[in-house]
């Protein structure tokens, strides 16, 4: 990460000759200074698609972000781009959701407090009130929104409240830090590519509840964790980051859970960072991650 302010342009478009020249030429034409650039071509979906990410030194350009968008839009339309541009000076607003397991929440708050994750956390939402005092000690508003799995009307009201809170605080990203409830499909549709989950399994293996118990019964030699975007298909969203650790026959389920917590924290932090830095581009159910 650069110490000076920069703009991050991330985009994908149908692959063709001259994409880099067209985009970098526009930046050079306005005396823009490119600090970092990444590119990738992928033909896995029956038609080649091109992915790019550029960081441009903000004060090298003669205009601000809003004017950049206006001037760049005709080029984006010409290239049929899906694109966005962000400002490093504007902190992303991350709403964390948690249930009863604390390790991912504690890790994210430690990284936030130390500025390793330079974000705003406008609130934390939980279906239990266990962490109310801990969260408020950090000066962060805590909202207890109970969810009854066996009462559809309650679930609907609960997620309407979650939606209201997220909109009220102008959240950019929602992080499920071991939030052990299924997000309703309508919320997934409302926030595509904006809800991030950490699943305590090396997906697509062992989806759903108690994956470590499933892994133990299967006799696996590797366990892991997966950070992915949430979609209406349970634990099937585009994968951002994964990691594994080797185990053996002497490890119990409790051992596996303990090892897994360390992996979960690291994988969630990395996946969230990649997302916040606009390093993740989604295409279909795959991602391109410029690390």
Enumerate the active-site residues.
235
Q: For residues 6 and 86, give the distance between their C-alpha atoms in angstroms, rounded to a whole number.
A: 8
Give every CB contact of residue 119 below 8 A, 6+ residues apart in sequence: 91, 92, 93, 94, 112, 276
Torsion, CA 148, CA 151, CA 154, CA 160, rounded to 10: 90
Q: For residues 22 and 81, give the distance between their C-alpha atoms in angstroms, rounded to a whole number.
A: 12
DSSP 84-140: EEEETTS--BEEEEE-S--HHHHHHHHHHHTTSS--B---EEESSSTTHHHHHHTT-
Q: For residues 69 and 12, give the distance between their C-alpha atoms in angstroms, rounded to a whole number.
A: 16
Q: For residues 287 and 279, give the distance between their C-alpha atoms in angstroms, rounded to a whole number.
A: 10
């Amino acid at each position: 990460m650069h110490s000076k302010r920069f703009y991050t342009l991330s985009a994908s478009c149908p692959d063709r000759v001259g994409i880099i020249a067209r985009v970098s030429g526009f930046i050079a034409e306005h005396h823009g200074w490119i600090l970092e650039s990444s590119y990738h071509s992928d033909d896995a979906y029956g038609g080649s698609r091109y992915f790019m990410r550029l960081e441009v030194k903000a004060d090298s350009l003669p205009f601000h972000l809003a004017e950049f968008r206006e001037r760049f839009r005709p080029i984006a339309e010409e290239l049929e781009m899906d694109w966005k541009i962000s400002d490093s000076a504007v902190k992303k607003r991350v709403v964390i959701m948690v249930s009863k397991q604390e390790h991912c929440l504690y890790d994210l708050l430690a990284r936030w407090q130390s500025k390793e994750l330079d974000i705003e956390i406008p609130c934390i939402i939980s279906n239990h009130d266990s962490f109310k005092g801990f969260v408020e000690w950090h000066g962060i508003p805590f909202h207890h929104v109970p969810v009854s799995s066996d009462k559809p009307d309650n679930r609907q009201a609960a997620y309407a409240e979650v939606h209201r809170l997220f909109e009220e605080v102008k959240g950019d990203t929602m992080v499920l830090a071991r939030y052990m409830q299924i997000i309703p499909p309508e919320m997934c549709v409302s926030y595509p590519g904006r809800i991030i989950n950490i699943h305590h399994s090396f997906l697509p293996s062992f989806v759903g509840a108690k994956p470590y118990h499933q892994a133990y019964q299967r006799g696996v030699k590797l366990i892991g964790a997966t950070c992915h975007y949430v979609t209406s298909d349970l634990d099937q969203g585009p994968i951002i980051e994964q990691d594994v650790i080797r185990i053996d026959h002497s490890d119990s389920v409790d051992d596996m859970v303990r090892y897994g917590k360390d992996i979960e924290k690291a994988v969630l932090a990395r996946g969230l960072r990649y997302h916040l830095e606009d390093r993740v581009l989604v295409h279909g159910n795959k991602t391109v991650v410029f690390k």
